[in-house]
Chain A
Amino acid sequence: MDYLTKMLERISKDKYQKKAYDTEDSTVVIAGPGSGKTTILTLKIMKLLNGHIHEPQGLACLTFSKEAAREFKERLEKLGYKKRVNVFLGTVHSFCVSEILGNFAELYDCGIPMPIKIVPDKLKKEIFEKAKENVGQNPNLKIEAMNKQRALQIPGSSNVKVADDVDAKTVAAEYEKILYKAGYIDFETIIIVSTRLIQEHEYVRECLNAKYPWLVIDEYQDLGKPLHEMVLALFNQTNIKLFVVGDPDQSIYKFAGAIPNYLMELYDRQDIIPVKLMNNYRSNQDIVDGSETVLNIKRDYHAATREGESAEYRFIDCDKGLEDQFDYFIKNIIPESKEKKIPLEEIAVLLGTRADCQALATECINNNVPHYISNHIFERTDFVKWLESCALWVNDRTAVSFDDIYDYWKTILLLKRENHYISEKENLTSRIALLEILEKSIHYKGSIKNWLEYMYDALRVNEVLKDAEQLPDEIDNLNELYNEVCDEKYTDYDTSKFSKLGKPENQITISTRHSSKGLEFEVVVLMGMEENNFPSWWVLNYGDEEDLEECNRMCFVCVSRAKRVCILMKSKKYVKNGKFGPYEKTFEASRYWKQLYQKYINRE
């Protein structure tokens, strides 16, 4: 039985998944934690491509991250997907750049500088500071607040209303002025201008409709207003059909303008079929129920695996600060887990801030606990992913085709060429050159560090990527990658372990609560579970109802990462720095602690 048939058989046993697969019209799928959304998405894409969409038409599958797009691609290939024209698989941003701005921005006056040059991060921050200074705004205003405000300003047909941030608005106007004058655009511009192009020009809609009669979108709750307006414009004014997947309960990017209401607005439409996946294939029923408890909304999700298993909820009360919690974790929980033969990579500690993560990491180093911080420094960009393919080829030539490797390299070579033209002959020369480099690199394949050193040098990456407007941050990123492999722990890594870089291997995971999304572990440790820490003092004193709801959702995400064990830790007091020096402050247990305690400890 091939993989596709096997998977189809599997989903046909889940009536919710089956329903989502079977719909013939636009559909919104609410997919809670562990509900198998990737399976549904990829199977749906196969179904559409195999019977419903005829060449040269295709479909666009938009994801939130590059990583997710790559995961989909790999999964689709496993399901038997063969490359065909007009199938787009990538992030929302790359879709906007290549399919909307690339084709149409020059046709109509969009008020942005052409050709498209994306502002490097560093410059973006400088421009933001300058803009604040120019308009005399509060220097504490965060760049995220401005970006959010810019996104909210887009007009459209959504009925979801969000109040303006007046300060951010003034800065935004000045910022855009400086940015465009400098000849750059940023990621926000990409989405905003793309949405406007779709809203304002029938031609753009017709073209997208012709090329992509179906739009498949993942993680809809993470996409803010401009994308929502873009989807509404396409849905209301073309024949494009939607297959949207998301989970309002996992919407935790309010600071960036993402709120669950946009997803729900689609879900509640009469002309879209709503489907809710009710089965959880990750956690046991206690964890499922506990996550709903902290969410403070009953979802009635059902644990479809781990039948009859009950969860282990533990409540650890420490004395002072996070330090005591770290200490308890290292001295007690780690040894216990070892005893119970729980592998280290099945353990995660979730904390509020990056600084807290760093502090724990330091403790781990001091105590020889292998750990991994998921906020790793280098980004798995397409270029890094390409280096990974090269490393794979070096070890096994049948694992990846040299043609594919060269194709990407060619796009990099073209970046620098003034006329973006490469002749057949040059093509051949570059191919041969790349092949030679790869072959010589085999010599260094025993050490990932030496191999990278050789590759950077032979490929002349600094030269090739210098001033590459499409990839402004790539050189910095490659340097981060290099620094990473220089780390002691990688000294015995050979090139075959490239793909394992930056991924936990027999290590515990340390992550911020935010970044835990999408991960899963046997054991999840939630530290800092005091009221005024989580939910934070700010939310409780200055936030509104919505802020608290988002906090609930954050806790829902954290608890639902666990498959079986959920450990909550808190301290009675923390040392704070006040006007007159350090002082101790007492803290009460977090409401989430109390809710879970009430549910699971008091019941016994």
Chain B
Amino acid sequence: MRSLYISRVVIRNYRNFKDVDIRLGHKQIIIGENNIGKTNFIRALQLILDPTLSDEDRRLDESDFNNTLANPMENDEEIEISIYISNYRGNVAVLAMLQGATVRDNDMETLKITYRFFPHTDDNGNKEYEYVIFMQDDVTRIFGAAQRKYLNIKVIKALRDVEGEMKNSRLSPVKKMLDEYAIDKAELERIAEEYRKSGEQILNIDEIEDLTQNINKRFNAILGNGEHNVSLQAMEVDPTKVLSSLKLLMENRNAADVSLGWNNILYISMILQTLQDKTVPTFMRREKYEELMTRPDSDILSAVYTETANGNFFLDEKITEQQKEDIYAFMNLNAPTYKGTTILVIEEPEAHLHPVNQRLVFRDVIQKSNNSVLLTTHSTHITAISPINSIVHLHSSKDGGTLVHATASMPMDEGEFLDVERYLDVKRGEIYLAKAVILVEGIAEEYLVPRFAELLGKSLDEKGIIICNINCTNFKPYVKLLRCLDVPYAVITDGDFYHIPSGQDEREYHVMYDDVSDDEECGYLGLEIIKRMVTELEINGATPIPDSVAEEDELYNSYGIFLGNYTFEVDMMEHCHGKKKATDIIVGLFNELTTGKEAQKANFKREIEEEKYWKCLKKIESNGIGKGRFAQKLASRCCKEHIPGYIKSAIEYIYEKVDK
């Protein structure tokens, strides 16, 4: 059963966030460059939910106002942060404590909690800023410690102090988990006594004996009497400290000494374990078991628990889904735990994790956890495998503030998800961290467009613009995602000109416009695909799609979509027409790469001069070259003259977008 989660966050005037309203899901990856406000975003949630924050921490000041506001406190500005909680209906404790927070959001019952920092004028006319955290829209319904006990947040800071926390017996998650068992005191005393006895025996070697005597002699000599007896002890024998003295071993080595990477994974696993819903305990003492057996419908107990050698009970590893449901219902009715729900925030787990472990932690530990987890990161290893609908994207706005976009409520169908996710896995999710993206449909563009940009004096790398080759012409899901994240993009795609020769009814591609007679029907497949996307995503809004090809193309350009006439190589060759230097480079490269004989090289040269580009392209695609290899090689020698107009426009377009 998945826990509740924060389904919406609204922030006004807090730090980087002037006006943010986003919807979130159960697992969220918060990405964005350094200093963009990831920590502030988490802090906003902490103001409401973190039980470790003090009153002082919650009391903001002038510096916490968004810096676009001039003299905010003089002008009576307010800071307001609201969170909405979803999927809580099965959670009895939350329902019991927080039902007064219910509002309807999107026609669904949702819990709303608000933090407000506002000027309050008292009866004597003195103005002072106060903060209040309240439920629903009623400031008298205070969300305080009593409520926070049942709904809270735990933030694991960039994992830099794991070692310390693991060693500290009070803070150690191991200790917390042990505490939950409420182990019998008599049992602890017995262990302590055994420790003491065997410890005495073990230490019964002469060297120790000698050392102890020497210490005692010296010590008592200083004190001048023989009353104090110093001894060495091998183990903790104080019953109250037996548990805290337990050490976690990994591969028989003290966990604190193993590599930090493993340590981090261990730490996160343990934190998630402490947050688990423990309504159905994996361990039950005999007395408890027997008491529960007297309740109605207790058959399920004996079905899923097995007696241990000590007469207590373990939950079986393998139980059916039905049994899971039954035992949950039984325990919830007869021995409810009502522990409260914690939303986990992990800041930059990559700090000390090897990329392989980043994936492990994310895929196997976080994604599978029933608890809601928010994660801030700039690791592309993590973003690459994040579900597409779990992204919160922070980037800077024109006025220097931070904009937040989230994909949780982005409408995408199953196929589209798979498509984009597969691609992102390969590309390591770079696009989330990009300033802007150029979407291209093939490998040739992927190699050449960055080079072209450099030739134009507009380096893509420098501006954080990335090329994203989607290997097909289905741009729609990517455009949808980028629009949702508000990342500037440009699309470069082929025009794929075709005609329908007279007397036929099938389209024929790979012809040049000039070779088609006037009475033949012709068109551009590329335009058709783009038109479908533009209208389906309603990019054009109310603007109608013009009938004329030139006007249609112009309209798409204004949306950042740039089409060639034919296919990339053909457009490039056509663009080189009459430019000797550029043409020679292509011919020279072909000659260098082809496995064909001299005759073929001569044919290629002739055909390019005769503007039979399709034939040229065919030769590039065969003869052991291939478009990819050709483009790769060309990238190191190409010149400005090679750049087709539509690609130049695309580069200029995206550059301008980023500069804004």
**Chain A interface (Cβ within 8 Å of chain B)?**
54-58, 85-86, 102-104, 107, 203, 206-207, 210-211, 239, 414, 419-421, 423-426, 429
CB distance from A94 to the nearest CB of B (A): 15
Among B99, B122, B128, B132, find the residue whose CB has the most chain A CB atoms closer than 10 A: B99
Q: Mark B91-108, 1 if CB is under 8 A from A, else 0.
A: 011011101101110000
Verify B103–A211 contact, CB threshold 8 A.
no
A210 touches B99 (CB 8 A): yes
Decide: B122 and A203 in contact? CB cutoff 8 A. Answer: no
> Is B150 interfacial (CB-CB < 8 Å)?
yes
Give Cα A54 to B93, complex, Å: 10
Could you tell me if A207 and B97 are in contact, using CB atoms closer than 8 angstroms? no
Q: Complex: how many Å from CA A407 to CA B109?
A: 32
Q: Please give the distance in Å from A441's CB to the nearest CB on chain B.
A: 22
Contacts A107-B109, A423-B120; A210 near B92 (Cβ below 8 A): yes
A residues less than 8 Å from B139 (CB atoms): 419-421
Contact between chains at A103 and B100 (CB < 8 Å)? yes
Which A residues lie within 8 Å of B199 (CB)? none
Select one of A107, A239, A425 contacting B102, CB under 8 A. Answer: A107
B146 engages A426 (CB within 8 Å): no
B92 touches A426 (CB 8 A): no
Q: How far is the CA of A423 from the CA of B136 in the complex (A)?
A: 19
Contacts of B150 in A (CB 8 A): 56
Contact A423 B103 (CB under 8 A): no
The chain A residue sitting closest to B140, CB to CB, is A420
> In the complex, which residues of chain A have a beta carbon less than 8 angstroms from the beta carbon of B109?
107, 203
CA distance A104 to B140 in the complex (A): 16
Q: What 8 pairs between A and B have smallest CB-CB spacing?
A: A210-B95, A207-B99, A210-B96, A211-B96, A210-B92, A420-B140, A56-B96, A56-B97
Contact status of A104 and B338, CB under 8 A, knowing A57-B92, A211-B96: no
Residues of B within 8 A of A55 (CB): 338
Closest to A239 in B: B333
Known: A57-B338, A423-B128, A423-B130. A104 touches B102 (CB 8 A): yes
A423 to B132, CA, bound (A): 9
B: residues with CB less than 8 A from A are: 89, 92-93, 95-97, 99-100, 102-104, 109, 120, 122-123, 128, 130, 132, 136, 138-140, 146, 150, 333, 336, 338
- Cα-based distance from A56 to B340 in the complex (angstroms): 10
Partner of B97, one of A85, A107, A420, A426: A85
Q: Given contacts A421-B140, A429-B122, could you give 14 more A-B pairs where the C-beta distance is less than 8 Å? A: A54-B338, A55-B338, A56-B97, A57-B92, A57-B336, A86-B97, A203-B102, A207-B102, A210-B95, A210-B96, A210-B99, A211-B99, A420-B139, A420-B140
Q: Which residue of A lies closest to B116 (CB)?
A: A421
B122 near A426: Cβ-Cβ < 8 Å: yes
Q: Tell me which residues across on chain A come within 8 A of B128, comparing CB atoms.
A: 423, 425
22 contacts between A and B (CB under 8 A): A56-B97, A57-B93, A85-B146, A86-B97, A104-B102, A107-B104, A203-B89, A203-B102, A203-B109, A210-B96, A210-B99, A211-B95, A211-B99, A239-B333, A419-B139, A421-B130, A421-B132, A423-B128, A426-B122, A426-B123, A429-B122, A429-B123
Is the CB–CB distance between A420 and B138 below 8 Å? yes
| Residues of the A chain whose Cβ atoms lie less than 8 Å from the Cβ of B336 | 54, 57
B122, A207: Cβ atoms closer than 8 Å: no
| Least Cβ–Cβ distance between A410 and chain B, in angstroms | 10
- Complexed CA–CA distance, A207 and B102 (Å): 10
Tell me whether B120 and A421 are in contact (CB under 8 A): yes
Complex Cα gap A369–B48 (Å): 66
Interface centre among A56, A85, A419, A426 (most CB of B within 10 A): A56
B122 touches A425 (CB 8 A): yes
* Distance of A107 Cα from B120 Cα, bound (Å): 29
Closest residue of chain B to A25 (Cβ to Cβ) is B296
Q: Give the docked Cα–Cα distance between A55 and B336 (Å).
A: 10
Measured CA separation A421–B139 after assembly (Å): 7
Among A104, A207, A424, A429: residue with most chain B CB under 10 A: A207
Query: Which residues of the partner chain B approach A211 to less than 8 Å between Cβ atoms?
Result: 95-96, 99
Contacts of A57 in B (CB 8 A): 92-93, 96, 336, 338
Cα-based distance from A321 to B300 in the complex (angstroms): 75
CA separation between A456 and B132, bound complex, in Å?
32
- State whether B140 touches A103 (Cβ < 8 A): no
A475 to chain B, nearest CB (A): 22
Taking the nearest CB of chain A, how far is it from the CB of B555, in angstroms?
45
Given the complex of chains A and B, what is the CA–CA distance between A429 and B124 in angstroms? 11
Say whether A206 contacts B120, CB under 8 Å. no
Question: How long is the Cα–Cα vector from A462 to B403 in the complex, in angstroms?
Answer: 52
When distances are taken between beta carbons in the complex, the residues of chain A under 8 Å from B140 are 414, 420-421
Q: A420-B139, A421-B120, A423-B122 are in contact. Are A103 and B338 (CB under 8 A)?
A: no
Inter-chain CA distance A426–B125, complex, in Å, is 11
CB-nearest residue of chain A relative to B139?
A421
Smallest Cβ distance from B297 to chain A, in angstroms? 13
Return the chain A residue nearest B150 by Cβ: A56
* A85 vs B333: C-alpha distance when bound (angstroms): 20
| In contact, B96 and A86 (Cβ under 8 angstroms) | yes
* Shortest Cβ distance from B93 into A: residue: A56
Chain B residue nearest to A53 in the complex (CB): B336
State A426–B127 Cα separation when bound (angstroms): 12
CB distance from B436 to the nearest CB of A (A): 43
A210 to B98, CA, bound (A): 10
Chain B residues, Cβ within 8 Å of A423: 120, 122, 128, 130
Chain A's closest residue to B97 (CB) is A56
Q: Which of B92, B103, B130, B138 meets A107, CB within 8 Å?
A: B103
Taking CB atoms, residues of chain B closer than 8 Å to A203 are 89, 102, 109
**Which residues on B sit within 8 Å (CB–CB) of A102?**
100
Chain A residues contacting B138 (CB-CB under 8 Å) are: 420
CA distance A56 to B95 in the complex (A): 10
- Select one of B95, B120, B123, B338 contacting A207, CB under 8 A: B95
Smallest CB separation, A421 vs chain B (Å):
5
Cα–Cα, bound, A432→B150 (Å): 34
The distance from the CB of A561 to the nearest CB of chain B, in whole angstroms, is 42
Q: What separation, in Å, do the CA atoms of A424 and B333 have in the docked complex?
A: 41
Expressed in whole angstroms, the Cα–Cα distance for A43 and B91 within the complex equals: 29
Q: How far is the CB of B111 from chain A (nearest CB, A)?
A: 11
Contacts of B99 in A (CB 8 A): 103, 207, 210-211
Complex interface: chain B residues within 8 A of A58 (CB): 96
- Given A207-B99, A211-B95, A423-B128 in contact, is the A56-B338 Cβ separation under 8 Å? yes
A419 vs B130: C-alpha distance in the bound complex, in angstroms?
A: 13
The interface centre, meaning the residue of B103, B109, B123, B336 with most chain A CB atoms within 10 A of its CB, is: B109
Return chain A residues, CB-CB under 8 Å to B132. 421
Q: When chains A and B are docked, how far (Å) is the Cα of A56 from the Cα of B99?
A: 12
Alpha-carbon distance A58/B103, docked complex (angstroms): 23
Q: B91: nearest residue on chain A (CB-CB)?
A: A210
Give every chain A residue within 8 A of B97 (Cβ-Cβ): 56, 85-86
A207 vs B136: C-alpha distance when bound (angstroms):
15
B95 lies within 8 A of A206 (CB): yes
A210 and B333 CA atoms in complex are apart in Å by 12
Q: Which residue of A lies closest to B295 (CB)?
A: A24
CB of B164 to closest CB in A, whole Å: 34
Chain B residues in 8 Å Cβ range of A86: 96-97
Give the residue name and chain of the A residue nearest to B95 (CB): A210
On chain B, the residues within 8 Å of A103 by CB distance are 99-100, 102, 136
- Nearest CB on A from B134, distance (A): 9
How near does chain A come to B137, taking the closest CB pair, in angstroms? Answer: 9
Q: Which of chain B's residues have a CB closer than 8 A to the CB of A421?
A: 120, 130, 132, 139-140
Q: How far is the CA of A207 from the CA of B95 in the complex (A)?
A: 6
Whether B338 lies near A206 (C-beta < 8 A) is no
- CA–CA, A58 and B96, complex, Å: 9
In the complex, A102→B338 CA distance in Å?
Answer: 25
Query: Considering the chains assembled together, what is the distance between the CA atoms of A55 and B243 in angstroms?
Result: 28
A210: which B residues are within 8 A, CB to CB? Answer: 92-93, 95-96, 99
